[in-house]
């Protein structure tokens, strides 16, 4: 019986020991499961295998860095195995209820990532959403068990790129070159690239035809000078095309070109016109004064049709006339010209554009026959009488002498 | 009374000189040489010519009105002085020419006597100058004077002078004054023939040749320049 009692006691002790060990193991497992650490990348280790826990997200790249509504772009997640064993990855994906995944290539069978290696996962997305911050989730499933989830921050912001006029002349003059300066400001939070600013207009000469900017950083503003030589009133449609990531955007600006008189331009005025007979021709003299605020260059004065210019002064070259300076001029026209003839002053501005102005000159006084024509016989009659008297006196002298 | 007598005597001398110069020189050759009275006649001609010169000079002054202050005074003085001196020179040079030509005919008599008698021959020129002055008063105000604006180019000035001389009133006056000058020059020549005859003791024929030769040449030249063409210095 003692033996039986001893055997019975030994059996009970072994049973209790087994139960105790089992409880210890189960409680240890439960503790281990409850005390398992959370991955920095947001994954949770469901296995005790240290290999899976060493797989982390090392870098995330978005292109563009900030999306605009409707923009497409890429999200590249780089996963690194920081452990000492290779890990087999079964599947990688990105999902969000707002951000649309466009990638046709999937990561359904990725393979293993060796110890210390990195592996990129690129997804094409479309942010067809309003402005805001979104967190599409990158999910990585391992072969045996477990997964890694990583929410990626994606910002959608529609801050503009602004094209504006910072400097332009008060007035545009036909054929005169003027400089218009635009400014392009990037108010977005990311850089834009491959910016092309080009003017579109007809019947106008614009230099340069376009301006290219490789990259415009956030908050940066660039000046864009354009030389404009208009020929007729028109609108210039400036267009700035740029890339936000792979997306092409554009911003426009319309600059109306309306002609007005330049308030500072040279202004040659003809005055003091006098006409007088000049042999068989008529001579016109006068003054030309620059009453403008700019130099008048290559100033010439000529008589226009229907006047018939003749030598020696068909054209009178004055040359440079500074503001408030004046010069006399002289023209000769045929007496066959009409009573009123145009006197045309031509001049050039700094850019070589030629201007002209016409002033009517009344030359009828110079063509009027002299009033003394009917009286011109009287002096000759007097001369004739004197001649007769002198002849008579001389004859008287000789008659007297002969008598003596 | 002596002044009145002298004045009456002078008027009588003038009338005699114009109507019967031969008799007058025949008497004067017997008297002493005296240049005072002939110079007086020549001076009167010079003064009248100076007045005419002043009028002609005023045209030139208007032409160079843009030349600045003082230019018109210079032109006026030079015109007056030039006209007066010109008459005196005409007297001296004319007398010298007559004297030289008369040498070909073995003329005798001094130059002063020639100068004296030729000076008397300027009496018709007094009337001629007066008539020319009247004609100038009539014609010159009608002349349209061109204004010279540029004094850098001589061609401009020459052109302006040419315009002035081709003015219809100016051309008419030039012709009239030339004919008047010729008429009174012939009257003077008729006196100078008698003057040189007695001053140089020549025959009437030789005296006529001595006077008429240069006078006719001068008249032909004047007629040619007046009616056939007009030339300004430098040509046009």
User: Residue A126: which domain range?
Assistant: 50-156
Residue from A139, A81, A83, A141 nearest A109 by CA: A141
Looking at the domain assignment, is residue A198 inside a domain?
A: yes
What is the DSSP-derived secondary structure letter of residue A309? B
Looking at residue A354, its pLDDT comes to: 84
Contacts of B149 in chain A (CB under 8 A): 285, 328, 330
Mutate to test the interface with A, among B137, B144, B170 (most CBs of A within 10 A): B144
Check CB contact under 8 Å for A376 and B172.
yes
Alpha carbons B61 and B209: distance in angstroms, whole number: 42
A124 burial type by CB count under 10 A (0-12 exposed, 13-18 middle, 19+ buried):
middle
Nearest chain A CA: its distance from B90 CA (Å) = 21
Q: Regarding beta strands A154-156 and A66-67, do their DSSP bridges make them parallel or antiparallel, or are they unpaired? A: parallel
pLDDT at A375 over 70: no
As a whole number of angstroms, the distance between CA B234 and CA B236 comes to 7
B2 in a structural domain: no
Q: Averaged over B38-54, what is the pLDDT?
A: 91
pLDDT confidence bin for A33, thresholds 50/70/90: very low
CATH number at residue A129: 2.60.40.10
Q: Say whether pLDDT at A197 is over 90.
A: yes
A12 assigned to some structural domain: no
Determine contact: A368 vs chain B, CB below 8 A: no
Under 8 Å between Cβ of A301 and A316: yes
CA distances to A137, A192, A245 from A134, in Å: 10, 21, 18
CA distance A383 to chain B (A): 6
Total structural domains in chain B?
Answer: 1
Asked whether residue B39 is domain-assigned, the answer is yes
Contact with chain B for residue A396, Cβ under 8 A:
yes
Residue B14 lies in a domain: no
Question: In terms of pLDDT, which residue wins out, A41 or A346?
Answer: A346
Are residues A136 and A180 both part of a single domain?
no
With CA atoms as reference, the chain B residue closest to A390 would be B187
Q: Is A68 domain-assigned?
A: yes
Query: Two tokens at B121?
Result: 């021959």
A263 part of a folded domain: no
The pLDDT of residue A10 is 56
**Which residues on chain B are in Cβ contact (under 8 Å) with A390?**
124, 183-184, 186-187
Residue with tokens 């005419």: B52
How is residue B21 written in tokens?
Answer: 């110069």
A375 Cβ contact partners less than 8 Å away, ≥ 6 residues apart: none
A40 falls within a domain: no
Minimal Cβ distance to B146: which of A276, A380, A401: A276
Kindly state the average pLDDT of the residues A279-283. 78
CA distance B146 to A171: 44
Q: What is the pLDDT of residue B13?
A: 80
Interface test with A, best of B15, B17, B22, B185 (most A CBs within 10 A): B22
Is residue A379 in some structural domain? Answer: no
pLDDT of residue A15: 59
Interface test with B, best of A285, A383, A385 (most B CBs within 10 A): A383
Backbone φ/ψ region at B144: left (φ over 0), alpha (ψ -120 to 50), beta? beta
pLDDT, residue A4, reads 44
Higher pLDDT, A372 or B189: B189
Which residues on B lie below 8 Å from A401 (Cβ)? 20, 22-23, 194
pTM equals: 0.47
User: What does the angle CA A87 – CA A88 – CA A94 come to, to the nearest 5 degrees?
Assistant: 105
Q: What is the mean pLDDT of residues A182-201?
A: 93
B-chain residues within 8 Å CB-CB of A370? 142, 168-169
Number of domains in chain A: 3
Q: pLDDT tens digits for B73-132?
A: 788 888 889 999 999 999 999 999 999 999 999 888 889 999 999 999 999 999 999 999
Pick from A236, A257, A278: which residue ends a domain? A257
Partner-chain contact B179 A383, CB within 8 Å:
yes
pLDDT band at A327 (very low <50, low <70, confident <90, very high): confident
Q: Compute the distance between CA of residue A226 and CA of residue A206 in angstroms, rounded to an integer.
A: 7
Q: Does A48 touch chain B (CB under 8 A)?
A: no
Query: pLDDT digits over A129-142, tens only?
Result: 999 999 999 998 88
Helices (H), A35-107: 50-53
Q: Is B150 touching A (CB cutoff 8 A)?
A: yes
In this predicted structure, the answer to whether residue A166 has a pLDDT above a threshold of 80 is yes
Q: What is the pLDDT of residue B152?
A: 65
Q: Say what angle helices B111-120 and B71-103 make with each other, to 10 degrees.
A: 120
Residue B235 lies in a domain: no
Residues 6+ apart with CB under 8 A from A12: none
Q: What is the dihedral of CA A39, A43, A46, A50, to 10 degrees?
A: -50
What is the residue whose two structure tokens read 């060493």? A54
Range(s) of the domain holding residue B116:
20-228
pLDDT tens digit sequence for B163-190: 777 778 888 888 899 999 999 999 999 9
Q: Report d(CA B33, CA B41) in Å as an integer.
A: 16
Say if residue A71's pLDDT is above 90.
yes
For residue B202, being part of any structural domain is answered with: yes
Which range, of A26-35, A52-61, A238-247, averages the lowest pLDDT? A26-35
Is residue A226 helix, strand or coil? strand
DSSP A207: E
Read off the pLDDT band of A16 (50, 70, 90).
low
Q: If 0-12 CB within 10 Å is exposed, 13-18 middle and 19+ buried, where does residue A138 land? A: buried
Are the beta carbons of A289 and A325 closer than 8 angstroms?
yes
Chain B, 173 to 212: residues with Cβ < 8 Å from chain A are 176, 179-180, 183-184, 186-187, 190-191, 194
| Contact flag A394-B159 (C-beta cutoff 8 Å) | no
CB contact under 8 A, A383 and B180: yes
């Amino acid at each position: 019986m003692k033996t039986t009692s001893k055997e019975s006691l030994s059996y009970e002790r072994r049973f209790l020991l087994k139960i105790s060990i089992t409880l210890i193991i189960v409680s240890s497992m439960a503790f281990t499961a409850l005390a398992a650490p959370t991955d920095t990348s947001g994954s949770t280790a469901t296995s005790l295998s240290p290999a899976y826990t060493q797989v982390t997200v090392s870098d995330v790249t978005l292109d563009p860095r900030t999306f605009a509504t409707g923009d497409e772009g890429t999200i590249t997640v780089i996963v690194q195995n920081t452990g000492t064993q290779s890990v087999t990855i079964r599947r990688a994906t990105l999902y969000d209820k707002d951000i649309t995944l466009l990638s046709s290539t999937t990561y359904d069978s990725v393979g293993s990532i060796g110890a210390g290696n990195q592996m990129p996962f690129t997804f094409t997305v479309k942010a067809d959403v309003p402005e805001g911050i979104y967190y599409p989730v990158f999910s990585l499933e391992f072969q045996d068990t477990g997964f890694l989830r990583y929410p990626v921050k994606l910002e959608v912001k529609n801050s503009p790129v602004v094209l504006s006029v910072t400097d332009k002349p008060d007035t545009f003059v036909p054929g005169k070159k003027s400089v218009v300066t635009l400014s392009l400001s990037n108010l977005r939070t990311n850089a834009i690239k491959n910016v092309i600013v080009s003017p579109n207009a007809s019947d106008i000469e614009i230099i340069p035809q376009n301006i290219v900017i490789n990259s415009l950083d956030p908050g940066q503003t660039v000046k864009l000078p354009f030389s404009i030589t208009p020929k007729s009133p028109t609108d210039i449609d400036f267009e700035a095309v740029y890339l936000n990531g792979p997306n092409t955007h554009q911003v426009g600006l319309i600059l109306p070109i309306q002609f007005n008189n330049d308030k500072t331009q040279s202004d040659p005025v003809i005055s003091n016109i006098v006409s007088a007979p000049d042999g068989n021709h008529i001579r016109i003299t006068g003054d030309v004064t620059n009453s403008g605020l700019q130099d008048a260059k290559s100033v010439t004065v000529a008589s226009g049709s229907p006047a018939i210019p003749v030598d020696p002064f068909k054209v009178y070259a004055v040359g440079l006339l500074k503001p408030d300076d004046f010069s006399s001029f002289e023209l000769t026209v045929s007496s066959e010209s009409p009573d009123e003839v145009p006197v045309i002053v031509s001049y050039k501005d700094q850019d070589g554009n030629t201007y002209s102005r016409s002033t009517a000159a009344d030359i009828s006084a110079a063509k009027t026959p002299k009033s003394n024509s009917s009286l011109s016989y009287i002096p000759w009659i007097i001369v004739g009488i004197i001649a007769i008297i002198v002849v008579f006196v001389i004859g008287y002298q000789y008659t007297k002498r002969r008598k003596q | 009374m002596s002044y009145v007598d002298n004045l009456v005597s002078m008027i009588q001398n003038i009338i005699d000189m114009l109507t019967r110069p031969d008799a007058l020189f025949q008497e004067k050759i017997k008297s002493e040489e005296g240049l005072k009275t002939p110079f007086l006649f020549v001076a009167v001609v010079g003064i009248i010519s100076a007045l005419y010169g002043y009028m002609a000079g005023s045209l030139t002054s208007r032409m160079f009105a843009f030349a600045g202050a003082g230019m018109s005074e210079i032109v006026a003085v030079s015109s007056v002085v030039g006209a007066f001196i010109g008459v005196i020179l005409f007297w001296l040079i004319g007398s010298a020419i007559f004297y030289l030509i008369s040498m070909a005919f073995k003329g005798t008599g001094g130059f002063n006597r020639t100068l004296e008698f030729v000076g008397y021959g300027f009496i018709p020129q007094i009337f001629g100058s007066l008539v020319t002055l009247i004609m100038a008063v009539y014609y010159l105000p009608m002349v349209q004077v061109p204004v010279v604006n540029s004094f850098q180019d001589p061609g401009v000035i020459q052109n302006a002078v040419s315009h002035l001389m081709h003015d219809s009133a100016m051309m008419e006056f030039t012709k009239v004054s030339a004919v008047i000058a010729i008429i009174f020059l012939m009257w003077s020549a008729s006196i100078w023939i008698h003057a040189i005859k007695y001053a140089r003791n020549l025959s009437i024929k030789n005296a006529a040749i001595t006077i008429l030769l240069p006078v006719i040449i001068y008249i032909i030249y004047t007629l040619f320049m007046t009616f056939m063409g007009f030339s300004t210095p430098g040509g046009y």
